Amino acid sequence: MQSKSNAVKAESLSQKDTWISIGIIGVLFFVFGFVSWVNAILIPYFKIAFTLSNFDSYLVAFAFYISYLVMSVPSSYLLKAVGFKKGMMVGFFIMSIGAYIFIPAALGRTYEVFLLGLFTLGTGLAVLQTAANPYVTVLGPKDRAVQRISVMGIFNKGAGILAPIIFAAVILRVGDTELFKQLESMGALEKEAVLDELIQRVITPYAVVGTVLLLLGILVRFSPLPEIDTDQESEAVAEANSSKTSIIQFPHLILGAFAIFLHVGTQVIAIDTVIGYANSFGIGLMEAKVFPSFTLGFTILGYLVGISLIPKVISQVNILRICTLLGTVFTLLIIFSSGQISIFGINSDVSIWFVVLLGLANSLVWAGIWPLALDGLGRFTKLGASIMIMGLCGNAILPLIYGALADLYSVRLAYWVLFPCYLYLVFYAVYGHKIRRWKAS
């Protein structure tokens, strides 16, 4: 069991130590973003290399994020046993193994082995996320939690902007657009040789990623990041929780975890489907590869707005309500709007840009839900955080639903999956987070 002698309360940290800790966590969030959002280019890339359906291609997101459902609660027990720093080191080591699995997967051009590598990457990331999010929540005043989470979001989404562009630059060639068009007319042997060469391009970047993750695990273990004791409760919180024996007795947490499930699903759909949606309008992969970066750019814009306005101009809860309502409106505009428009030199259907604008709508939802859901948990905070992280399996489930609807109907009508998600998020922002009992006494 981790000794409490090395752990400190968040409020006892000096301002300098707090900022150092936030800086280290910011680096972690950059890594989270880079590894996670590269899936936006992996999905259409694997779809070509393995000739997959929409549904099968979104198994990339499923394999990566379903690990959160499997590993989140075990992660909380790992952190309780060895502490945050050693736990995060283990998380980085697991992620490193996942990246290295891409090497034999590429050599054998075996989609299932790639999915195993993605699952392993997600498993390590689940450990890291379970540790990092409570850090951000407790390192500073409660009413400024959204600001701190927004700063982390800038690191995360900034990496997300870079990841698809860098990855595409490494694995895609100038003549690939024409090559992709010629695949259907190739003979079986020639096509196999081309696809083998295509998939083996991922070996070098993922070998580098695996090594970097290994080194980061060692560095974070010996970094000045302090252990945080999240098990201690204030007298008021301890008294309020004195009769609580189970995490299920916190309705605002359980409802918040489901809100996270839906939110992250809508977020990954907005980013990971936009290239395929643009392809449906005749925009090729080489040109469409920038759309995920635009989406994440609008997300960062939302973070900057949140940092500037919260809490002096607008409260955390009200900004959450605005964002969830925007998501609802943009979803309807994706489905019902049409017409050509030219932005940043790209001629496209206007509905594509409403997919991009979901980045703005999604920007402060995560940051708004976390402090509301963890409010007053006290000694249940670590387990509560792991329940919240389990919600990230929404990244696995909702894209598959989108893919199935896209195969059954169309890539545009498949966006209907977002509408009930945003309606629930509006409910949680307006009322759900206030519920402290499952039924009235």
In a domain, 441, yes or no: no
Return the minimum-mean-pLDDT range out of 5-19, 121-135, 137-151, 422-436.
Answer: 5-19
Q: What is the pLDDT of residue 3?
A: 45
What are the tens digits of pLDDT across the range 304-326? 888 888 878 888 899 999 999 99
Q: What is the pLDDT of residue 7?
A: 52
What are the tens digits of pLDDT across the range 37-65? 788 788 888 888 888 888 998 898 889 88
What are the tens digits of pLDDT across the range 361-405? 999 998 889 889 988 887 787 778 778 878 888 988 999 999 999
Q: What is the pLDDT of residue 262?
A: 96
Q: What is the pLDDT of residue 396?
A: 86
What are the tens digits of pLDDT across the range 212-269? 999 989 988 888 777 766 555 555 555 555 566 778 888 999 999 999 999 999 998 9
Q: What is the pLDDT of residue 42?
A: 85
Average pLDDT over residues 175-185: 78
Average pLDDT over residues 140-160: 75
One-character DSSP codes across 278-315: HHTTT--HHHHTTHHHHHHHHHHHHHHHHHHHTTTTS-
The domain of 419 spans 11-226+235-434
Q: Facing residues of 347 across strands?
A: 342
Q: What CATH number is given to the structural domain containing 56?
A: 1.20.1250.20
In a domain, 274, yes or no: yes
Q: What is the pLDDT of residue 255?
A: 95
Token couple for 375: 């409010």
Report the domain count for the chain.
Answer: 1
Q: What is the pLDDT of residue 4?
A: 46
In a domain, 68, yes or no: yes
Distance between CA atoms of 333 and 353, rounded to whole angstroms? 10
Which amino acid, residue 371?
P
Q: What is the pLDDT of residue 371?
A: 85
Is the previous residue joined to 311 through a cis bond, with omega within 30 degrees of 0? yes
Q: What is the pLDDT of residue 188?
A: 84
Q: What is the pLDDT of residue 25?
A: 83
What are the tens digits of pLDDT across the range 78-113? 887 888 788 888 999 999 999 999 999 999 999 999
In a domain, 73, yes or no: yes
In a domain, 316, yes or no: yes
CB atoms inside a 10 Å sphere around CB 116: 17
Percent of the chain with pLDDT over 90: 36
Between residues 422 and 239, the one the model is more confident about: 422
Distance between CA atoms of 334 and 337, rounded to whole angstroms? 6
CA 73 from chain centre, in angstroms, equals: 18
What are the tens digits of pLDDT across the range 110-137? 999 999 999 999 999 888 877 777 677 6
In a domain, 50, yes or no: yes
Cα distances from 22 to residues 19, 89, 134, 202, 307, in angstroms, run: 5, 17, 12, 32, 15
Percent of the chain with pLDDT over 70: 89
Coil, strand or helix at 247: helix
One-character DSSP codes across 138-158: HSS-GGGHHHHHHHHHHHHHH
Could you tell me the pTM of the whole model?
A: 0.75
Between residues 321 and 296, the one the model is more confident about: 321
Q: Give the chain's mean pLDDT.
A: 84
With a cut of 50, say whether residue 2 has pLDDT above it: no
342 backbone dihedrals φ, ψ, rounded to 5°: -115, 115
With a cut of 60, say whether residue 12 has pLDDT above it: no
In a domain, 5, yes or no: no
Average pLDDT over residues 295-300: 90
In a domain, 86, yes or no: yes
